[in-house]
Structure 1
């Protein structure tokens, strides 16, 4: 199976309590099952989020069935995903250079060890 990798970044609000709560929502087994199902159903085979300070970094490995446009449309039409996204926005904030309405900003790969 061939996979492709996407990397994104987003900030959390600089509030230790909010960061603690966000991490609790994302601790093993705590993400809503409807959310993890929507991720897997879209062809995302692995998704990891890392945090330093209030800056997050997401690594997303997808299979050949993944289509970002279809995933975005499915998310828009899924009330549970919309509820999750609204809840998460309590903790998140846009990067200073994000486009209007953009939450997770795609990152440019600048190095790869070969």
Structure 2
């Protein structure tokens, strides 16, 4: 099956205690959150950290629609609870739009086949 890849960046507040708490939360992501991710057509998701910068890589089905995912999240109280909790740890990138957490990254290189 052909998949699509999306890559995003977000910053954490530069506080070692908060960063440790954030990582602890991600060792046991709530089942409802995992289900909402999969229900949206995301088949794999990884988050990496370098200092206080986060990188998220998502593999999705061809049918994945970011707008649909956004609407699903807004109507899911458990997702909203999770997102509000994560804002305790996250901060917007300096160039992010108002209210934007994860900023999609632009691919600038791919190893040729």
CA distance in 1, matches of 2:97, 2:61: 27
Q: When the two structures are aligned, how many residues end up with a matched partner?
A: 112
Query: Given that residues 42 and 65 in structure 1 are in contact (C-alpha distance below 8 angstroms), is that contact kept between their aligned partners in structure 2?
Result: no
Aligned twin of 2:10: 10
Q: Secondary structure at the match of 2:14?
A: coil
CA deviation string 1:47-85 (max 9, x = no partner): 000000000000000012211111000000000000000
Instruction: Normalising by structure 2, report the TM-score.
Output: 0.98
Distance across 2 between alignment mates of 1:79 and 1:65: 24
CA distance in 1, matches of 2:89, 2:17: 10
**1:44-63 alignment, distance < 5 Å:** 44-63=42-61
For residues 105 and 68 of structure 1, the distance between their equivalents in structure 2, rounded to whole angstroms, comes to 12
RMSD: 0.5
SS of the aligned residue for 1:97 comes to coil
Residue equivalent to 1:93: 91
Q: How far, CA to CA, are the matches of 2:74 and 2:80 in structure 1?
A: 7
Any stretches of 5+ residues in structure 2 without a counterpart?
none
* In structure 2, distance between residues paired with 1:66 and 1:112: 22
Residue 30 of structure 2 corresponds to which residue in structure 1? 32
Alpha-carbon distance in structure 2 between the residues aligned to 1:103 and 1:64:
24
CA apart distance, 1:101 = 0.8
The ranges of structure 1 where at least 4 consecutive aligned residues each deviate by more than 2 angstroms after the TM superposition are: none
